[in-house]
């Protein structure tokens, strides 16, 4: 396509956009368990209206032109710090997403330990691949350490992987592949022994962990935790483009602050990888957090757990399928029977209109549940029962296919 010489009328463009969407998977029907978070139309409107009110304000100008955005960001940060038991004097920065929060955390860890490339980051091998991406950008080595049988970080093995070059240790709360929470208290002690930065990746968990019962400790209440990434655009339920990097001490923020005067325009400083930043994402996050409050997030967490319970019960009732142990929004199930290939189950679900997110190791089906799934869990399990019955007849040995992770 070439840029048209003359502009086109909006109604035709709007229609073209609707047409373009027609072949997309409909998250509105809840028929996918990846990529989206949804509660209801009321919350959708709050996010959209708040975004629209600030749709072209630029957060880069928050200091002078748009003091409103500085205030809103400050309030988002302080509400989040309160949720994660931050001590007096803690700080934080809004970012565009989990990847940017993690990138900045790794940058800060590197800069705090002298700013040299060639160091390493020690993490369980369940940590999000974003850490490897951040290490690649920053000239660090990602040291992935196999997790224990419980699929949680193996602290002794992680300690053995640390050396003089270790700039950061990572734990997830929870990890994306399995939804397990690493032993953060023990990792905090390890980080303190080594004088290393401990980053807790709560991109998934930041806004749901506080409302789940039975989780191990994971936040700033644990000594030794230096920073936490928490995505407002995941279980924070806000429109996309909103995450937080929270630090135990406001003074640590200087380690991810860029500052230079090396051009004709004088001082340029930024705490984020982005320069121009959408004010709408800040306003929408602020409004969604205020609109939901603790009670709203508790309700979201309950819906997620209800969906989980319905799906786990159905999986366990199908001979040959098994749900991996867990207690979070992330649920993985697999086949224990060679006559019931999980790939065939996945295909059966896809034929019934569900977008299936596959797991490679162990081969299985991965679900990241959000509140909308409570409404469609029964539909899902009905489709699963049919898909499993069909798959049982589909024969055993199948070639392993490449699975795309997200």
Contact with ligand PLP (CB under 6 A) among 54, 176, 211, 220: 176
| Gap between the Cα atoms of 73 and 88, Å rounded | 18
Residue among 106, 112, 111, 165 nearest 130 (CA): 106
Instruction: Considering the complex, state which of residue 120 and residue 130 has its C-beta at the smaller distance from ligand PLP.
Output: 130
Residue among 289, 227, 271, 279 nearest 93 (CA): 271
* Structure token digits, residue 327: 């207690």
Contact with ligand PLP (CB under 6 A) among 98, 278, 280, 296: 98
**Read out DSSP for 187-219?**
HHHHHHHHT-EEEEEETTTTTTGGG-SSPPP-S
Give the up-direction half-sphere exposure of residue 219: CA atoms within 13 A in the CB hemisphere.
21
Instruction: Considering the complex, state which of residue 340 and residue 372 has its C-beta at the smaller distance from ligand PLP.
Output: 372
- Binding residues for ligand PLP restricted to 239-268, rule: CB under 6 A: 243
Give the up-direction half-sphere exposure of residue 15: CA atoms within 13 A in the CB hemisphere.
4
Q: Which stretch binds ligand PLP (CB under 6 A): 6-14, 95-103, 291-299, 314-322?
A: 95-103
Question: Mask 188-227, x = binds ligand PLP (CB under 6 A)?
Answer: -------------x-xx-----------------------
Partnered with residue 180 across adjacent β-strands are none
Q: What share of the chain is helix, strand, coil (3-state, %, to 5)?
A: 40, 15, 40
Give the up-direction half-sphere exposure of residue 362: CA atoms within 13 A in the CB hemisphere.
15
Asked if 122 touches ligand PLP (CB under 6 A), the answer is no
Nearest distance, CB of residue 2 and ligand PLP, angstroms: 32
Instruction: Considering the complex, state which of residue 229 and residue 335 has its C-beta at the smaller distance from ligand PLP.
Output: 229
Neighbours of 73 (CB within 10 A): 22
Asked if 173 touches ligand PLP (CB under 6 A), the answer is no
Q: Which stretch binds ligand PLP (CB under 6 A): 52-60, 97-105, 351-359, 371-379?
A: 97-105
Nearest position to ligand PLP, beta carbon = 98
Asked if 231 touches ligand PLP (CB under 6 A), the answer is yes
User: Can you give the binding site for ligand PLP, defined by CB under 6 A?
Assistant: 97-99, 102, 128, 130, 172, 176, 201, 203-204, 231, 243
């Amino acid at each position: 396509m070439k840029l048209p010489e003359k502009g086109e009328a909006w109604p035709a463009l709007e229609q073209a956009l609707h047409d373009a969407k027609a072949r997309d998977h409909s998250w509105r029907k809840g028929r996918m368990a990846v990529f989206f978070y949804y509660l209801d139309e009321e919350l959708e409107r709050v996010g959209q209206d708040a975004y629209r009110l600030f749709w072209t304000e630029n957060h880069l100008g928050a200091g002078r032109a748009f003091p409103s955005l500085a205030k809103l960001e400050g309030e988002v940060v302080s509400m989040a710090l309160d949720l994660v038991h931050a001590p007096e004097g803690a700080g934080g920065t809004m970012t565009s997403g989990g990847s940017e929060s993690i990138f900045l955390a790794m940058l800060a860890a590197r800069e705090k330990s002298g700013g040299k490339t060639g160091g390493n980051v020690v993490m369980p091998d369940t940590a999000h691949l974003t850490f490897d991406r951040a290490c690649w950008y920053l000239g660090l080595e990602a040291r992935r350490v196999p997790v224990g049988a419980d699929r949680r970080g193996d602290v002794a093995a992680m300690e053995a992987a640390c050396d003089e070059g270790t700039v950061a240790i990572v734990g997830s709360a929870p990890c994306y592949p399995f939804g397990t929470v690493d032993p953060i208290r023990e990792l905090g002690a390890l980080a303190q022994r080594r004088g290393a930065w401990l980053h807790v990746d709560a991109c998934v968990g930041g806004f749901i962990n506080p409302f789940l019962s039975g989780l191990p400790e994971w936040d700033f209440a644990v000594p030794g935790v230096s920073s936490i990434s928490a995505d407002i655009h995941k279980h924070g339920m806000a429109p996309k483009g909103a995450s937080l990097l929270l630090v135990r001490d406001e003074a640590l923020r200087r380690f991810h602050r860029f500052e230079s005067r090396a051009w004709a325009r004088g001082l340029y400083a930024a705490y984020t990888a982005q320069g121009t930043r959408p004010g709408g994402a800040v306003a929408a996050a602020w409004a969604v957090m205020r609109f939901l409050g603790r009670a709203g997030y508790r309700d979201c967490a309950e819906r997620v757990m209800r969906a989980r319970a319905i799906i786990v019960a159905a999986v366990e009732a199908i001979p040959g399928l098994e749900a991996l142990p867990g207690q979070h929004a992330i649920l993985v199930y697999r086949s224990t029977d060679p006559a019931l290939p999980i790939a065939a189950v996945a295909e059966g679900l896809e034929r019934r209109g569900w977008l299936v997110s596959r797991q490679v190791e162990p081969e299985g089906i991965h679900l990241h549940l959000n509140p909308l799934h409570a409404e469609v869990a029964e539909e899902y399990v009905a489709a699963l029962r049919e898909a499993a019955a069909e798959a049982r007849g589909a024969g055993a040995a199948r070639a392993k296919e490449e699975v795309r992770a997200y």
